[in-house]
């Protein structure tokens, strides 16, 4: 069986010289090129000693001049989700919207760790995984789009992706995998130890250590949802999908003041609320590539029910502060999304039965001693959880521009449009200018993949302002 693995594909081989140069430049006479040449003339041992001295003094920013390209090979999608939450790294993943995952395979927990119950758990687990993948393949044969069939894939299915990251951030990631949030998940911890060993071979000056300060799991006695609502069943009625939890009183004024400050008029100068001048300033800012003025105001949003598959779209937006619940505790098999394509094909009963059976199987595994940390392999991609995030107005412009486009995946598009409607009600002067790219810029960036409905889309989003 294929094993999860991670490999450092490439790193800058002059790393010790460039990192040492960065350490020397702040306190040593000479130009950047001269100091680099000097570092190249030094032995690796000399550079390593200097780097370690710098790191011990707390100046770890020099490590950001060393970069790594990583390949995560045949890992579970849970590992992908864990990794992609690190915002100071770049990721490219295999798309579940366009790639058939029917024969990608799945990751299994360490059955031997369960002792006498290992064989029982192995049989239950493997039978259910084979069932889920067969159901996925059957849905595809029934004409269900890949992006909708994926909702029944378990979070054990294998993912492959690339990651590029600097050494400082990689140390943080590895520490989190081995000593922090990832330590209780055997697959993540093993991948972390593999990365640690590879890094030590390449860059012996990198130091890894437990920085959690003794942090442990959540142990405050709070009633779980099952205890509060023991008879609660999944309901089909539409619930409020998005809530605006917090926002500034007058974001337009703050943004315009920032613009006037940058333009040399001073912070106290105002453009006047709701005036034509204010509108022109906001339009000017949104038309520029550098929109720092928008970053002066923040909005906190609660996505009440977003699927695990949907979260993968949301977390790709780097400049946000996102809070995602622990899947082992938060995921309940009664809460899931149903694609319209399933309903249209007359497959709703079969689809819901997959989630019901998955709950039954998990209860069997749990009764056999299955760990809460291995439960993540049994949760399905269509299960929904609440997610809270805070974005500034600049990141919201990017999020809404991309995710309200007709080419966006339908679930994240629906959430984006719902959020925009709420924001327009609260802050019409600012967010009436927000929408998909074609609405904001008058141009479609999709080329041959364009929906071909730009004029209608522009009219639709203009009407939403009225």
Nearest to 176 by CA among 184, 134, 120, 9: 184
CATH 3.90.1150.10 matches 242-324+386-463? no
Adjacent-strand bridge partners of 76: 158
pLDDT at 13 (0 to 100): 86
- H/E stretch holding 322: strand 320-323
| Dihedral angle computed from the Cα positions of residues 33, 39, 40 and 45, in that order, rounded to the nearest 10 degrees | -170
Residue-wise DSSP of 86-133: -TTSEEEE--TTTS--TTS-B----GGGGGGGHHHHHHHHHHHHHHHH
* Distance (Å, whole) CA 265 – CA 260: 5
* Distance (Å, whole) CA 149 – CA 338: 10
Whether pTM exceeds 0.85: yes
Residue 24 buriedness (CB in 10 A; 0-12 / 13-18 / 19+): buried
Nearest to 258 by CA among 268, 272, 246, 248: 268
| Range(s) of the chain covered by CATH 3.30.1360.170 | 242-324+386-463
pLDDT in tens, the chain (466 residues): 478 999 999 999 889 999 999 999 988 999 999 999 999 999 888 989 999 999 888 889 999 999 999 999 999 999 999 999 898 899 999 888 888 898 999 999 999 999 999 999 999 999 999 999 999 999 999 999 999 999 999 999 999 999 999 999 999 999 999 999 999 999 999 999 999 999 999 999 999 987 665 555 555 555 554 443 433 344 343 457 999 999 999 999 999 999 999 988 877 667 666 688 899 999 999 999 999 999 999 999 999 999 999 999 999 898 999 999 999 889 999 999 999 999 999 999 999 999 999 999 999 999 999 999 999 999 999 999 999 999 999 999 999 999 999 999 999 999 999 999 999 999 999 999 999 999 999 999 888 888 889 889 999 999 866 5
Residue 246 buriedness (CB in 10 A; 0-12 / 13-18 / 19+): exposed
* Distance (Å, whole) CA 23 – CA 448: 49
* Distance (Å, whole) CA 413 – CA 404: 5
């Amino acid at each position: 069986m294929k094993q999860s693995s991670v490999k450092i594909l490439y790193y800058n081989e002059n790393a010790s010289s460039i990192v040492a140069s960065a350490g020397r430049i702040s306190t040593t006479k000479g130009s950047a090129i001269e100091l680099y040449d000097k570092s190249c003339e030094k032995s690796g041992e000399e550079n390593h000693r200097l780097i370690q001295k710098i790191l011990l003094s707390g100046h770890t920013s020099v490590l950001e001049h060393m970069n790594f390209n990583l390949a995560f090979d045949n890992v579970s999608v849970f590992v992908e989700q864990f990794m992609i939450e690190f915002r100071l790294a770049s990721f490219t993943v295999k798309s579940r919207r366009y790639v058939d995952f029917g024969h990608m395979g799945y990751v299994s927990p360490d059955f031997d760790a369960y002792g006498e119950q290992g064989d029982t758990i192995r049989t239950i687990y493997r039978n259910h995984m084979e069932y889920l993948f067969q159901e996925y393949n059957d849905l595809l044969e029934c004409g269900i789009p890949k992006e909708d069939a994926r909702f029944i894939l378990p979070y054990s299915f294998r993912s492959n992706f690339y990651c590029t990251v600097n050494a400082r951030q990689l140390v943080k990631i590895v520490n989190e995998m081995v000593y922090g949030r990832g330590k209780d998940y055997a697959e993540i911890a093993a991948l972390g130890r593999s990365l640690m060993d590879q890094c030590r071979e390449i860059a012996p000056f990198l130091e890894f250590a437990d920085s959690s300060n003794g942090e442990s799991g959540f142990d405050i006695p709070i009633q779980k949802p099952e205890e509060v609502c023991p008879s609660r069943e999944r309901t089909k009625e539409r619930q409020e999908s998005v809530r605006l939890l917090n926002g500034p009183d007058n974001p337009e004024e703050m943004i315009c003041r920032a613009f006037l400050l940058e333009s040399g008029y001073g912070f106290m100068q105002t453009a006047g609320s709701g005036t034509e001048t204010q509108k022109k300033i906001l339009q000017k800012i949104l038309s520029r590539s550098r929109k720092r003025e928008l970053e002066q105001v923040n909005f906190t949003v609660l996505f009440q029910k977003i699927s695990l598959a949907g979260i993968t779209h949301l977390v790709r937006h780097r400049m946000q502060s996102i809070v995602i619940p622990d899947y082992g505790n938060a995921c309940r098999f009664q809460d899931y999304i149903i694609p319209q394509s399933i309903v249209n094909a007359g497959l709703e009963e079969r689809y819901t039965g997959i989630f019901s059976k998955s709950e039954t199987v998990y209860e069997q595994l749990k009764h056999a001693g299955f760990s809460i940390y291995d439960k993540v392999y049994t949760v399905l991609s269509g299960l929904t959880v609440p997610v809270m995030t805070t974005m500034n107005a600049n990141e919201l412009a990017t999020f809404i521009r991309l995710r309200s486009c007709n080419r966006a995946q339908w679930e994240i598009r629906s959430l984006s449009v719902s959020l925009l409607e709420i924001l327009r009600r609260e802050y019409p002067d600012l967010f009436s200018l927000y929408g998909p790219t074609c609405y904001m810029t008058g141009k479609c960036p999709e080329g041959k993949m364009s929906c071909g409905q730009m004029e209608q889309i522009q009219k639709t989003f203009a009407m939403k302002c009225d």
